[in-house]
Amino acid sequence: MQRRDFVRTATLFPLAGSGLLRAQPDWPQRPVKFILSQPAGSGPDILARYVADRLARSWAQPIVIENKPGGQNVIGALAAARSQPDGYTFYYATTAAMVTNAYTFKALPYDPAKDFAPVRLVGRSPFVIAAAANFPARNLKEALALAKAQPGSIAIATEGPKTFSGMLADSVAGMAGVRFNHVPYTKAPDALQDVIGGRVPLVCLPDAALTAYLSSGKVRALAVSTAGRQPGMPDVPALSETFPGFEYTGWNGLFAPAGTPTEVIARVNRDLEAVMQQPEVLQRLQTLGSQAEQRMSVPEFEAFMHSERERWAKLVRQLDIRPE
């Protein structure tokens, strides 16, 4: 062996032993997939497609949206949990799938805490209680008075009594001392068509699912679930104005199947943060009914998830919701 070859080889061995020479191909090298538990055209779907489009531009790889609705998020969540943790499949999830399902199902076929790795919070989504254009009550106070005068006769369209929107409706009803008649829907557009058609007077859904209908005047917003009024809806009272201290906000975020390489999770978090800080993205998400989360590291998202599970465990106990 010539001396220069010996020196070069001797220099490389310590690096090889330390793992610094392991080949790490650039990621992503092929299309990435986002699984959603909601149907195409729903609020989370619209947000996911917009965010995915922005990320795909920086990755120079397409992001495929795969909708797997049904089963109160179970079908999509289970598909994502069982995906290969190779960094090419992610779960674009909502609060219901990653938090509340754990308290409303006796036997959930996936574990939100163990089967997924938090990547990043995307945005917080206020919920809106709205009414059909011809509903006689012009505000929340009048709607609650009507519900009190006609116990159990006022129907409200939700995603089901044990979903995020259903629990919000029950929370409001409980604080007001009234009872709503739940009409569950698996698809937000179907619920809104029934509200517009006058078959159901009230609806409780994420702002993102209602935005187009509110702007067209086909439905009227009565209250928003955040602690204060929203910039995009300055004339719509916050629920806290009727029930002081009350706040009930959903969110959407990106998760990876447990075991996904930490380097990929860190890369996606970093790239998503860059997207969330673009002014046009902030404006667009607000238009779509979501408050963009501009800064959040992976450890911060993990801490956020821990606090969310504690908060919802308390709320479920207060509503006396029994798992089924």
What amino acid occupies position 148? K
Going by DSSP bridges, is the β-strand pair 155-158/181-184 parallel, antiparallel, or unpaired? Answer: parallel
pLDDT digits (tens, 9 = 90+) for 218-237: 999 999 998 888 877 899 99
What amino acid occupies position 98? M
**Rounded Cα distance, 125 and 253, in Å:** 11
% residues pLDDT > 70 (the chain)? 92
Q: What does the pLDDT average to over 49-78?
A: 95
Of residues 195 and 313, more confidently modeled: 195
Output helix, strand, coil percentages for the chain, rounded to the nearest 5: 45, 20, 35
The most confident of 25-29, 178-182, 216-220, 261-265, by mean pLDDT: 261-265
Q: Is the pLDDT of residue 317 over 60?
A: yes
What pLDDT shows up at residue 264? 97
Domains of the chain in sequence order: 32-125+249-319 (3.40.190.150), 126-241 (3.40.190.10)
Q: Please, which pLDDT band fits residue 297 given cuts at 50, 70 and 90? A: very high
The answer to whether residues 180 and 154 touch, using CB atoms and an 8 Å cutoff, is yes
Supply 55's token pair.
């990320």
Q: What does the pLDDT average to over 241-251?
A: 88
Q: Is the pLDDT of residue 299 over 70?
A: yes
Of residues 9 and 234, more confidently modeled: 234
Q: CA gyration radius for the chain? A: 23
Q: Please, which pLDDT band fits residue 211 given cuts at 50, 70 and 90? A: confident
Q: What does the pLDDT average to over 79-93?
A: 98
Which of the residue ranges 22-26, 163-167, 238-242, 304-308 would you say has the lowest mean pLDDT?
A: 22-26
DSSP state of 162: T
CA distances from 291 to 96, 243, 285 (A): 18, 22, 6
What pLDDT shows up at residue 9? 43
Q: Is the pLDDT of residue 250 over 90?
A: no
The answer to whether residues 97 and 250 touch, using CB atoms and an 8 Å cutoff, is no
Q: Is the pLDDT of residue 105 over 60?
A: yes
**Rounded Cα distance, 121 and 322, in Å:** 28
Q: What is the mean pLDDT of the chain?
A: 88
What pLDDT shows up at residue 25? 61
**Rounded Cα distance, 217 and 232, in Å:** 15
The answer to whether residues 237 and 80 touch, using CB atoms and an 8 Å cutoff, is no
Q: What does the pLDDT average to over 110-127?
A: 95
Of residues 312 and 274, more confidently modeled: 274
Q: Helix 298-319 to helix 164-176 angle, to the nearest 10 degrees?
A: 50
